Structure 1
Amino acid sequence: MRLNIVLRYIGLILLLNAAFLLLSACVSLLNGMDTAFYPLLQSFLLTAILGAFPLIFVQGGEQISSSEGYGVVVGAWLMSCLMCMLPYMLWGGEFTLADAWFESVSGFTTTGSTSLSNVEALPKGLLFWRASTHWLGGVGVVMFVLVVLPSMGSTKMRLSSVELSSMAKDNFRYRTQKTLQILIVVYVGLTLIQTVLLKIVGMGWFDAVCNSFSTIATGGFCTRNSSIASFNNAGVEFIVMFFMLVSGLHFGLIYGTLTGKNNNIFKSEISKYYIFSTLAGGVVIAISLWLTDIYPNIWISLRYSLFQIISVASTTGFATADSSVWTPLAIVVLMLFTIQCACAGSTAGGIKCDRILLSFKAMKAAIIQRQHPNAIIRVKLNGVIQENNTVNMAMLFIVLYLMLLGIGTVAVAAFGIDLETSFSMTVASMANAGAGFGQVGSMGNYHEMPGMVKFIATIMMLLGRFEIFGFIQLFFLNKWK
């Protein structure tokens, strides 16, 4: 692997981060040059210099190999997290080294967990930067750069194939550049529409922009301590709920639906499974909350249950209620949807509905095969026959994912954290969903967690964001031919 070429491309991604650091500094300047201005400006200068350095000394134009593609993508994510913790460290306040790293990784992986006990104490420049890390990480920092760069031949294809989930590629039936453009257009378009709608129902422009960044990225960083509950606005809740649900859909299918293509949301059994299973889960939770008198009537129960289940299913992590005090049934259902999550090709994390649905079909085929040993049973998804390798990889991913959840739970529990908190924290971190239960519930935070527990959580976040294999590959690049 040619390290100099890898560093050149990582430098390009760092320059994108520097641009958003500068934009955040401008927000700070417009708000009376708040206390975040100089930390953001200093971070911009350091990140810009580090990003520009390899561009000056390394010649461009060379094509990269598959191993170098993995090196660029994973290296870019790690360097983005590392450099973009600088504003937190320089600003100070509640941020220790562990907290700054946790906040940065949680932002870029769109997990949305926070180590802060008082988010509202942050100046607006830093709040905007937190939201920006979500927005950059949602569709992928590498994707933004690939869209604006001129033709790069096979390099662009290699980088996008690493950044995009393997399950996501099935519904992008376009050339690489067209796929990237669709991703960005849908992503930016949804962000703009939600921002305007939130403003219309009474939210200020600053809050509307920041919370839209978090929603479309399915992140969860909010500008208020009590998340969306702070606004106490049914219109805000409905808009956020709708866009959380939409952001969990495959962006290629959203584009196909809006442009009248046959490949759309209404014809995708994955999309239908995601939407109907999520809504059904919300109804089950609402009935549970109503029957146990947690809320006075079924309509209020539905208001809170639907918001919370869409939030965890889409891996956004916003909250309008403290779900930790809900019924055991409600908690179990929420936990199951946190493990499953939304669709491939969205900004969501987790196992993904695609793999869950594929595993159900594979199990059904296996049962039929035992009943009819000589029959040839094909597994179909969206009417397309799935290769055995695709089915096997999906099953392997699920098994490995669940194994890592077990390992992560044991590692966290070793620091004296109770089992409910340990397990839900691990699940929420791997799924990039943010909210867990116990000490890290929907209205809680990680402020009191030991530094080592926060570090373990960030490892789980990165494993989840790279869908396990992408992160593990980094440690075996020297064995690639």
Structure 2
Amino acid sequence: MSLARYASPLNYLAVVTHMGLVLRLLGLLFVPSVVVALAFGEFERAGLFAALALGVFAIGWLASLANRPALEVREALVVTALAYLAFSLAGGLAHLPEAPLIDGFFESMSGFTTTGLSTLDPALLPKSLLFFRASTQWVGGAGIIVIALVVLFGPGRAPFKLYAAEFGGENLVGSVVATARVVIKVYLGLTALGYVVFLAVGMAPFDALLNIMTTVSTGGFSPFTDSVGHYQGIRFHVAFMVFMILGAVSFPLYYLALREGPRRFLADIQLRWLLAIVVLAGVAMFGILGWGVSAALPAFFQATSAASGTGFSTVDISSLPETMRLAMIPLMLIGGSVGSTAGGIKLLRFIILAKLGTWMVTRALLPQEAQVPVKYGNDTVSDGELKEMFAFVALFAAIFFGSAMLLALAGFPVLDALFESASAAGTVGLSTGITSPDLSSWAKLVLSFQMWAGRLEVLAVLVFLYPGTWKWARRRG
């Protein structure tokens, strides 16, 4: 018996009106780029940004005129998926005429999903476009939907569903809007702190602004062709590493640490695993590079960049030994903490998967009737939660391997295809050279889909693409 007959229709009015609010926000996000363009005397670019700001805001205003119905889970997921598509399409227009629309769409999807893969040479781009690219990652890191609910949505039940779709839904202070505001205050605080630190180590003010926007968001866009390799000096690289790690830490944890004390950081399982993974991976890569003194910094920097999902590099990734590139793939797939700006399957899921190995051994040694729960900290993981986790990991793996296969069939080396696919699915941004101006349009769309699905943890994209989401409305309508 088909489940469609029991499903309520998709509330198109709720989707349209809430998307209207999202588009109004997008229109406002073009305004800072107008100011930057005027400041640098890029008047044609200022006109383009201004036209996009007015046009997108007007469309959003028209779409949000009607009374907004309640936003249920399915509608919240559809709005979330649509928001990233709309932002990426409008951002693609902002790249004209420096890049064709497909390249602009790719860049914007990479930006708003905080991935960092790029087909453009930043050295050839105007200052205002460099700022816009950085702003897409900074906004994407904060969470398009979280910002939207704080600025535009009132308190209530519906905003929480959007918040949960973006950050996992840990309500810290009683009110959803208040919780999201706490997250954004933390984000602003880290950005301001990082800007001061980047200035202190010797960066130019404009470069420091762009770099911190793309570091704390674990985005990885750089204003320079050679990424962080542009900076010669250990102080620069260490500053980047510190804020890459800070961006990969759960943002609610910062609030809890302020409320309960710094020991709350040490008690966080995900943070302990993140640091352990970075150290172990860094040591392994140090060994792969030959244990030379000059190899230490590149090894630990690339381990931090891959594990945090930032995607900065100090060396040409394609020049690294194959074993090191292979070692970076699982780091990119695992990702950072739940509630951080990092992508991947997230540390929480990986930790539970790792604990399942011990659970299976323990279960095999005990009588069949013995009850052996799976634990995460002091909490018991239910069978339902385990099933959801396995379903997500299976879907994530299918997207990763499927996309890698397509890239390999296009003629790219298998290891490079796996690396690039992991980078896109994990929203990291490191590249072996596959992502380039010469990449075919269909391959750009494959990687764009991975970035979109990876950023939204698959579910919102699947709901959006599932025909039943739309067919049910027609049957019941």
TM-score by length of 2: 0.92
Match of 2:30 among 16, 21, 30: 21
Instruction: Give the alignment of 1:453-464 within 5 angstroms.
Output: 453-464=443-454
Q: Does the CA-based 8 Å contact 2:78-2:460 persist in structure 1?
A: no
Query: What corresponds to 2:104 in structure 1?
Result: 100
Q: Does the CA-based 8 Å contact 1:359-1:391 persist in structure 2?
A: no
Moved over 6 A (4+): none
Query: What corresponds to 1:109 in structure 2?
Result: 113
Query: What corresponds to 1:12 in structure 2?
Result: 21
Query: What corresponds to 2:87 in structure 1?
Result: 80
**2:340 aligned counterpart, secondary structure:** coil
Paired with 1:305 and 1:198, the residues of 2 have a C-alpha distance of 22
Shift of 1:17: 1.8
Q: Does the CA-based 8 Å contact 1:270-1:382 persist in structure 2?
A: no
AA in 2 matched with 1:454: K
**1:348 aligned counterpart, secondary structure:** coil
Q: Does the CA-based 8 Å contact 2:325-2:419 persist in structure 1?
A: no
Query: What corresponds to 1:37 in structure 2?
Result: 46
AA in 2 matched with 1:308: Q
Q: Does the CA-based 8 Å contact 2:329-2:418 persist in structure 1?
A: no
Query: What corresponds to 2:457 in structure 1?
Result: 467
Paired with 2:378 and 2:170, the residues of 1 have a C-alpha distance of 12
**1:351 aligned counterpart, secondary structure:** coil
Cα displacement string for residues 33-61 of structure 1 (whole angstroms, at most 9, x for unaligned residues): 355222212222221221211123x124x
Unpaired runs of 5+ residues, structure 2, are: 1-9
Deviates more, 1:199-208 or 1:149-158: 149-158
Assess, with a 3 A threshold, how the Cα gap between structure 1 residues 34 and 211 changes in structure 2: closer, same or farther. Answer: farther
Query: What corresponds to 2:469 in structure 1?
Result: 477
Assess, with a 3 A threshold, how the Cα gap between structure 1 residues 171 and 339 changes in structure 2: closer, same or farther. Answer: farther
Paired with 2:338 and 2:449, the residues of 1 have a C-alpha distance of 21
**1:127 aligned counterpart, secondary structure:** helix
Match of 1:418 among 413, 417, 420: 413
AA in 1 matched with 2:311: G
TM-score by length of 1: 0.91
Cα displacement string for residues 414-469 of structure 1 (whole angstroms, at most 9, x for unaligned residues): 322222222211111100011133x24xxxx4211111111111011111011111
Instruction: Give the alignment of 1:197-216 within 5 angstroms.
Output: 197-216=197-216
Answering whether residue 323 of structure 2 is matched by residue 314 of structure 1, we say no
Instruction: Give the alignment of 1:70-469 within 5 angstroms.
Output: 70-89=77-96, 92-93=97-98, 95-116=99-120, 118-149=121-152, 151-165=154-168, 169=169, 172=172, 174-261=174-261, 264-291=264-291, 297-298=292-293, 300-372=294-366, 373-437=368-432, 439-440=433-434, 445-469=435-459
Deviates more, 1:171-180 or 1:238-247: 171-180
Q: Does the CA-based 8 Å contact 1:171-1:263 persist in structure 2?
A: no
Q: Does the CA-based 8 Å contact 2:117-2:431 persist in structure 1?
A: no
Q: Does the CA-based 8 Å contact 1:34-1:124 persist in structure 2?
A: no
Cα displacement string for residues 84-135 of structure 1 (whole angstroms, at most 9, x for unaligned residues): 211112xx13x1222111111111111100011x211111111110011101
Q: How many residues align?
A: 461
Q: Does the CA-based 8 Å contact 1:111-1:434 persist in structure 2?
A: yes
Paired with 1:278 and 1:348, the residues of 2 have a C-alpha distance of 14
Shift of 1:171: 8.1
Assess, with a 3 A threshold, how the Cα gap between structure 1 residues 218 and 377 changes in structure 2: closer, same or farther. Answer: same
Deviates more, 1:214-223 or 1:79-88: 79-88
**1:369 aligned counterpart, secondary structure:** helix
**2:42 aligned counterpart, secondary structure:** coil
Q: Does the CA-based 8 Å contact 1:84-1:104 persist in structure 2?
A: yes
Cα displacement string for residues 236-271 of structure 1 (whole angstroms, at most 9, x for unaligned residues): 211111010111111111222233358822102221
Assess, with a 3 A threshold, how the Cα gap between structure 1 residues 120 and 436 changes in structure 2: closer, same or farther. Answer: closer
**1:385 aligned counterpart, secondary structure:** strand
Q: Does the CA-based 8 Å contact 2:76-2:161 persist in structure 1?
A: yes
Unpaired runs of 5+ residues, structure 1, are: 292-296
Paired with 1:240 and 1:405, the residues of 2 have a C-alpha distance of 28
Query: What corresponds to 1:294 in structure 2?
Result: none
Cα displacement string for residues 335-375 of structure 1 (whole angstroms, at most 9, x for unaligned residues): 12111111111000011111111011122212211221222
Q: Does the CA-based 8 Å contact 1:35-1:123 persist in structure 2?
A: no
Paired with 2:378 and 2:333, the residues of 1 have a C-alpha distance of 26
Paired with 2:263 and 2:379, the residues of 1 have a C-alpha distance of 13
AA in 1 matched with 2:84: W
Q: Does the CA-based 8 Å contact 1:34-1:125 persist in structure 2?
A: no
**1:143 aligned counterpart, secondary structure:** helix
Assess, with a 3 A threshold, how the Cα gap between structure 1 residues 406 and 150 changes in structure 2: closer, same or farther. Answer: closer
**1:380 aligned counterpart, secondary structure:** strand
Paired with 2:290 and 2:409, the residues of 1 have a C-alpha distance of 37
Paired with 1:262 and 1:96, the residues of 2 have a C-alpha distance of 48
Shift of 1:288: 2.1
**1:264 aligned counterpart, secondary structure:** helix
AA in 2 matched with 1:12: L
Answering whether residue 54 of structure 2 is matched by residue 59 of structure 1, we say no
Paired with 1:35 and 1:290, the residues of 2 have a C-alpha distance of 51
Paired with 1:240 and 1:371, the residues of 2 have a C-alpha distance of 47
Paired with 2:354 and 2:110, the residues of 1 have a C-alpha distance of 31
Work out the percentage of aligned pairs sharing the same amino acid.
Answer: 25
